[in-house]
Chains A and B, each alone.
Chain A
């Protein structure tokens, strides 16, 4: 900043004055207004009244750009995703986590979003497991063991929210490395470090530990809450992870949720293999038997197809014969990653023969007032949808209602082409 001002000072003195006003002469709250210039996007209608800013179209355009960039990367190669993940979430609870630049404090914000993340993670990766690790007083502790139940993780974390001492990346990585080398070879080993501190206090050579993690195919990602640190960047580069710095709370939320969808599978990271699994049937509510997990007699529950033991919840490992038990809906939850629907295309408003309503929700596409609302169309079935349906279809439903309600969608497609 100083350098730039200095240079301009030589040329034009007036410019310098303005710069000074813009940069330093104003308070931070004033500057946000100067930067955004929100008044410029205001529009007047015919009678001179101010219209509310319609940022829906803008939002939608941003959303579609993101969608397209995502789909271009996935369709380029055959879709292979690491769907069975073993993730260690390392939470830094050193003194730096008590700082209040995030309100009310860094660790409270971290805990809040880890909770949301854990739920989202299990929604998207039903067969994966999470474990929580905390760093406090320079020592890493395993808070919860690898497990598939979101409730237990969240509960354990909420009970342990205190910060003290220094932070140590090496201790955390060593601990996680020790655990992750024991998991089956088909699983994807991942570490997500939520780092508040600006330094690391290590007992030995951290480079050595990073090499060990790299050799063990552990993908380490870091989300920083303060400033960028070289060692974190180095860890992520070496192990193929992502390094990002949160600007504020909403940005942090965005960054952490980016880790919820399964990452692209890297062939060398996990060896593909066939895993033997059982699909138990759910017993009727009035059939009472003793379960192997709690040793209580109750109705319902699932029966292991190999040894006929009764377990209460799925997914689980049978305590008697060791068979992995899942239900088919668990597997089906991740199938939309394999068969993604294509992004919809924009429809020019001038085009004729536009249908009057959105195919999905029957909302009128004809617009409120004089302007025509834009719509999008599925490249396969050519049905038109409104923006809201477009987002819902791609974010949550993962089905195109148009394509699904056509029996001969394939033959129609070839006939058109």
Chain B
């Protein structure tokens, strides 16, 4: 990185941080097998590296129990040797990925809580942002970073605050978060992430053509995006989920002290412990007050 002549950093040089979902619970039920998915992704990563000599790719695996860096093109040993690079790049990545998946499996404690098997998106997002900050620190001339989430697992509600923190931090440092969602239902987290940071959210219709989606939508650098017609958002779900029942609501009560969201009137805030006085004059609230017992 530092050795590269700085004048070569034009505005079409990108740093692509790919967050790869490796959640075994998702892939075991996915219509697209993981091996096929990986072959699409490897081809895409190679394309990105070939688009510009100085393009940089970092891959972070998002597992069920942990997250880790599995590939960094700037630290790859034989990057410069032209012909030997392509197989080395793939085998490097696959080897690391293999190790990661085994480790992820070992960390599994068996006590899988029933229901949602989400991946640790908040962890890999945080790591990606830390890495990008390092690139920003490296000097006034650096590749333009962006994050691409290749995600399939459902959202984990317990990660809500952490993911939101990461999104706002990305927004502040102007890093777009692109997301390509391979799962069944739309992901509200990724929709919001892409909307807030100005990235692209896409849910491919035909998974067999994943490479085409990746190369036509996500391979473009930030500079050329201005002149392209990229997929537009089809409405974003901005509804909140209440803290008491985790229900998604479109109207609710907000604690004025800590901004916790509740779907009905409570006497005391469960987050900050403040005792509520008179609720805002509202017929519904007073009737609710009588009905709900102390929790």
> Which residues of A come within 8 Å of B, CB atoms?
78-84, 123, 127, 184-187, 265, 267, 270-285, 302, 305-306, 323, 326-329, 331-336, 338-339, 358-363, 388-389, 392-393, 396-401, 404-408, 411
Contacts and interface: CB of A to CB of B under 8 A. Distances in A.
B179 interface: no
Interface in B218-254: 232-240, 249-254
A360 to B, nearest CB: 3
Contact of B69 (A127, A271, A332, A362): A362
B173 interface: yes
B161 interface: yes
B285 interface: yes
Given A274-B279, A277-B251, A360-B126, A407 B65 contact: yes
Interface string B92-118: 000000000000000101000000000
B287 to A, nearest CB: 13
Contact of B123 (A186, A328, A335, A405): A405
B282 interface: yes
B132 to A, nearest CB: 8
B254 A331 contact: yes
B24 to A, nearest CB: 13
Contacts of B76: none
Contacts of B8: none
Chain B facing A: main interface SS: mixed
Given A273-B276, A398-B165, A405-B120, A332 B134 contact: no
Contact of B122 (A363, A404, A411): A404
B172 interface: yes
B130 A360 contact: yes
Contacts of A405: 66-68, 120, 123-124, 126-127
Given A84-B256, A274-B262, A362-B75, 15 more contacts: A80-B258, A272-B256, A272-B257, A272-B276, A274-B253, A276-B285, A281-B236, A284-B235, A302-B238, A361-B134, A363-B134, A388-B137, A397-B130, A405-B120, A406-B123
Contacts, number: 218
Contact of B265 (A267, A274, A360, A404): A274
Interface stretch (B36-44, B144-152, B267-275): B267-275
B166 interface: yes
Contact of B238 (A274, A279, A388, A389): A279
Chain A facing B: main interface SS: loop
Given A273-B278, A274-B253, A397 B258 contact: no
Interface of B: 64-69, 72, 75, 107, 109, 120, 122-124, 126-127, 129-131, 133-134, 137, 159-162, 164-169, 172-173, 192, 195-196, 232-240, 249-259, 261-262, 265-266, 269, 271-280, 282, 284-285
A408 B65 CA distance: 7
B258 A327 contact: no
Contacts of A279: 238-240, 249-252
A404 B257 contact: no
B252 A277 contact: yes
Nearest to B124: A405
Contact of A285 (B134, B196, B233, B272): B233
A132 B54 CA distance: 48
A339 B276 CA distance: 21
B253 A275 contact: yes
Contact of A305 (B250, B265, B284): B250
Contacts of A389: 130, 133-134
B43 to A, nearest CB: 25
B60 to A, nearest CB: 9
B231 to A, nearest CB: 11
Nearest to B274: A272
Contact of A392 (B130, B256, B257, B259): B130
